[in-house]
Structure 1
Amino acid sequence: MSLTFLFRVITRDVVKSNICQHVQSLHTGCRVLATDKALLMKLRKGTGYTFINCKKALEKFDNDITQAENWLHEQAQKEGWSKANKLEGRKAKEGLIGLFIGDKAAVMVEVNCETDFVARNEKFQQLVKDVTFAILSHHRNKMQSQTGYVKSILAGDELSKLSMAEGASLADQVALTIGRLGENMSVKRAVTVGIPAEWHIGSYVHGAVSGQTEVTMGRYGSLVIFQGGKEGEQDTLGRKLGQHVVAEAPLSLGNVDDLPCGESETRLLPQTFLSDPSRTVAQFLRGKDARVLDFVRFQCGETLVEEKE
């Protein structure tokens, strides 16, 4: 074998080896890039943060998705408080009423934002849902030592100090959502009710957001506490009463013997019943062997009495 031939063989093998290594390196690099992209998509989908921030987080923690997610939440929380302070004072009259009825208990909340566009955002609706269940948990803790009819109105600092499921305060959760969506937000008010076994809770939400199941959301909401009603018809009765309260906006209950005082009637029982204009609410209830004991109506963005003062 000549030296020239041997040199050619060695050169060919070296070149071939280098090419194979280069190709393997390219394939390996492709796999790494694909893995990074999968992590990026997973982090983006799981947190809702921007691609740029998710990419930054993964790079910062060498693709450790748990550390990246924790860091993103921390940054959003800080940014949220910063934005919340900057946006404080900007009017937040839009938003949603959230309503949930559980086992002999109900919660209705009003969460505000600046625009209807944000009110339709899934992250804002998740905030409404989280707030509703945090308040329900607070209500159940209080109910352990109480019996009979229990009604509680919450607002302001009392709401902000409540704890969410993860342990953060409600105020922290609002700030986190402000950081994500960039609008001023607030939890304006909430009401919780607990009833005895033989009572019923009717409800209605107007302008309901589609796709919501556990917590019903919309622009208007009502709760109606009542007794009686024909067996198997209580749900329908409760819904009709709830619709009436939303539409006619009564301010007080009134008495069953009160006479109507015309179109400006603000007492519930003497009002002309929405579903049967030939009768008053009191007359309709009498025909159903039912009695309304209390009601609550929320309209998103409405000015409350204490705000007027």
Structure 2
Amino acid sequence: MQRMAGVGQAVLSSWRRGAPIFGWHFAHFLHTGSPVLVAKELLMKLRRKTGYSFVNCKKALKKFNDDLKEAEVWLHEQAQKEGWTRASELQGRKAQEGLIGLLKNENSAVMVEVNCETDFVARNVQFQRLVQQVAVGAMLHCQGTRDQLSTYAKCFLKSDELSQLRAGPEGSLLSDQLALAIGKMGENIVMKRAAWVSVPESFFVGSYVHGSLSQGNPLLSNMMFGKYGALVICKTSEEGPKSNCVEIGWRLGQHVVGMVPLSVGSLDDEPGDDSETKMLAQPFLLDPSISLGQYIQSSGVSVLDFVRFECGENTESLDSKENSSELQM
């Protein structure tokens, strides 16, 4: 006991003088080059980059002797395999939440709907990234099929068609990206549909998304996300629009989302029962004292067509309309 007390006193005395307590071994452990700290840094880096669990990241680093690149590749491969299995297991579960994503590129625009099971997952950045990949894939596909336009073009894509597209010029298949997302988030996710429009000069595409989510991720800054979305194809008059096209397009998109028209109609349509679903005869959402037709006449534009998406809506009644309008030029 006296010997143990003596050792304790010696340690305490050394600590008070600022001397190393456990000599070289303790100093080496605290050094930034310590194997323990290096391994922890690699683990944190792999976790931040991939989003996979600490357990799986640690397993991958151990398997490949701390080779970060090999570990990342292996994690993606395993997640994709697990995602396909998980997707098969979850296939029958309802997915009525999700997001409408809207992407514009010069004189073209694409709107997509991707569904999931809960609003919690819809607000996940990884889910929003998947919506962006679907939008980019649809945009690239449709732009590659168009010829020189004399008027506008409109194209619809369904779930099975979207799954065969790529998430960029050299990206992987959207079906593979979907499997990865399902594996990570553990919910049934469905790439439901996409609509793409393109216009020549003297035309413009109005757009609006309702219930927009704030974008905290700069990688998603080119996207708009929400629960409702609209694209409105407009043509300017010979004199040109009497106000900003972007502002007009935004207001027209708001009207389509809020008033739910089924057709454009004509400026000659009289108010009546059947005119309630005709866009131009409807009271203008932002000024009910005039019709939408009167608003666009005063603005110097004409409306040719529109597309409206509502997240989770039953699309069976819309299929015939979309199929008949698959491509217009």
- TM above 0.5, yes or no, is yes
Does 2:241 match 1:241? Answer: no
> Could you say if the C-alpha distance between residues 257 and 29 of structure 1 is closer, same or farther in structure 2, counting changes exceeding 3 Å?
closer
Question: Match of 1:285, as an amino acid?
Answer: I
Other-structure match for 1:177: 181
Residue 230 (1) aligns with residue 238 (2): no
| Displacement after TM superposition at 1:163 (Å) | 1.4
Q: Distance in 2 between matches of 1:238 and 1:24?
A: 66
The separation in 1 between residues aligned to 2:303 and 2:145, in whole angstroms, is 25
The correspondence for 2:190, drawn from 168, 186, 192, is 186
Map of 1:218 onto structure 2:
226
Paired position in structure 2 for 1:13: none
**Equivalent position amino acid for 1:138 in 2:** H
> Which of 273, 276, 279 is residue 290 of structure 2 equivalent to?
279
Question: How far did residue 305 of structure 1 move?
Answer: 2.6
Which runs of structure 2 are paired with 1:92-131 in the superposition (5 Å)?
Answer: 92-131=95-134
The worse-fitting range, judged by mean Cα deviation, of 65-74 and 129-138 is 129-138
Q: Aligned partner of 1:44: which letter?
A: R
Query: In the alignment, which residue of structure 2 is the partner of 1:69?
Result: 72
2:61 counterpart residue number? 58
Correspondence for 2:323: none
Q: How does 1:287-306 map to 2 (within 5 A)?
A: 287-306=298-317
Q: Which residue of 2 aligns with 1:6?
A: none
Q: SS of the counterpart of 1:236?
A: helix
Deviating more after overlay: 133-142 vs 53-62: 133-142
Counterpart Cα distance in 2 of 1:294 and 1:52: 52
Query: What is the alpha-carbon distance in structure 2 between the residues aligned to residue 176 and residue 54 of structure 1?
Result: 16
Aligned counterpart, 1:15: none
Where 1:172 maps in the other structure, the secondary structure is helix
User: Can you give the 5+ residue segments of structure 2 that lack an aligned partner in the other structure?
Assistant: 1-21, 321-329
Q: Which amino acid in structure 1 is aligned with residue 140 of structure 2? A: S
Residues 263-291 of structure 1: CA deviation (Å, up to 9, x unaligned)? 97111110000111111111111111210
CA distance 1:270–1:47, shift in 2 (3 Å)? same
Q: Which has the larger radius of gyration?
A: 1
Cα 1:151–1:262 change in 2 (3 A) is: same
Give the root-mean-square deviation of aligned CA atoms. 2.0
Taking structure 2 as the reference length, the TM-score comes to 0.83
Among all aligned residue pairs of Structure 1 and Structure 2, give the percentage whose two residues are the same amino acid: 49
Q: Deviation string for 1:169-218 (max 9, x for gaps)?
A: 11111111000000001110001111011101111100001015211000
1:161 — aligned with what? Answer: 164
Alpha carbons of structure 1 residues 307 and 89: separation in structure 2 relative to 1, 3 Å: farther
1:233-272 map, 5 Å: 233-262=244-273, 265-272=276-283
Change in Cα spacing, 1:112 to 1:20, as seen in structure 2 (3 Å) is same
Measure, in 2, the Cα distance between the counterparts of 1:93 and 1:302.
8
Aligned residues: 290
Q: CA offset at residue 230 of structure 1?
A: 2.4
Describe the shift of the 1:190–1:123 C-alpha distance in structure 2 as closer, same or farther (beyond 3 A).
Answer: same
Shift in alpha-carbon separation, 1:306–1:287, aligned structure 2, 3 A: closer
* Contact in 1 for aligned 2:28/2:34 (Cα 8 Å): no
Q: Could you tell which deviates more after superposition, 133-142 or 202-211?
A: 133-142
Between 1:170-179 and 1:228-237, the stretch displaced more is 228-237
Unaligned runs of 5+ in 1: 1-18
Tell me how far apart the structure 2 counterparts of residues 86 and 264 of structure 1 sit (CA, whole Å). Answer: 46
Amino acid at match of 1:147: L
Distance in structure 1 (CA, Å) of the matches to 2:251 and 2:319: 31
- In the other structure, the counterpart of 2:49 is 46
Higher mean displacement: 227-236 or 20-29: 20-29
User: What is the match of residue 206 of structure 1?
Assistant: 210
Q: Distance in 1 between matches of 2:318 and 2:305?
A: 23
Mapped pair 1:195 → 2:203: no
* Letter aligned with residue 105 of structure 2: G
d(CA) in 2 for partners of 1:245, 1:51 = 46
Q: Which amino acid aligns with 1:209?
A: L
Distance 1:102 1:170, change over 3 A: same
Residue 55 of structure 1 aligns with an amino acid whose one-letter code is: K
Q: 1:79 aligns with which of 76, 82, 85?
A: 82
Contact 2:97-2:122 within 8 A present in 1 as well? yes
